């Protein structure tokens, strides 16, 4: 593979990573809005469906970002054998920012599930409080 082809593929993958991250943020925001607005009104089966779909979709996205990061690292190692890396390329190949992005995305999934659970717990507390009155 030529240096140009390696770089073209590398930057194409970086662009794909950005797209996956943007879609992830969109899904995460939609999930949080649903959790906040109607989370208390959903029955258990609806919550299970929503949470299962959310986890499945976001885990695929996290896995994609991780795989893209592995591929970018590999491509930059190939490029380093052909010519010196630019400062940007060197930073991309040495730092773990792309891996941290995947980890941050995973943390966002867990935090969102906790948020939904917390909203549902508020419903239970509200129902208990109304029964006491």
pLDDT digit string, tens, across residues 102-125? 999 999 999 999 999 999 887 666
Cα–Cα distance measured from residue 120 to residue 113, given in angstroms and rounded to the nearest whole number: 11
* Residue 39: DSSP 8-state: T
Cα–Cα distance measured from residue 130 to residue 122, given in angstroms and rounded to the nearest whole number: 12
pTM as predicted: 0.84
- Count CB atoms within 10 A of the CB of residue 22: 10
* pLDDT, averaged across the chain: 90
| Cα angle value 36/37/40 (rounded, 5°) | 80
Instruction: Report residue 127's pLDDT band, with 50, 70 and 90 as the boundaries.
Output: low
pLDDT digit string, tens, across residues 17-54? 999 999 999 999 999 999 999 999 999 999 999 999 99
Q: Which residues of 60-71 are buried (b: 16+ CB within 10 A; e: fewer)?
A: ebbebbbebbeb
What was the pLDDT predicted at 24?
97
What was the pLDDT predicted at 91?
82
Comparing CA positions, the residue from 42, 44, 59 lying closest to residue 112 is 59
């Amino acid at each position: 593979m030529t240096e140009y082809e390696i770089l073209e593929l590398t930057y194409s993958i970086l662009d794909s990573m950005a797209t996956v991250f943007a879609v992830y943020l969109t899904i995460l925001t939609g999930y949080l809005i649903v959790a906040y607005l109607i989370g208390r009104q959903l029955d258990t089966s609806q919550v299970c469906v929503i949470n299962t779909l959310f986890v499945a979709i976001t885990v695929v996205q996290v896995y994609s970002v991780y795989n893209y990061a592995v591929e970018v690292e590999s491509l930059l190692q190939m490029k380093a054998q052909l010519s010196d890396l630019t400062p940007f390329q060197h930073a991309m190949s040495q730092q773990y920012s792309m891996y941290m992005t995947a980890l941050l995305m995973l943390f966002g999934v867990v935090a969102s599930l906790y948020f939904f659970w917390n909203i549902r717990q508020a419903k239970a507390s509200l129902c208990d409080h109304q029964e006491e009155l």
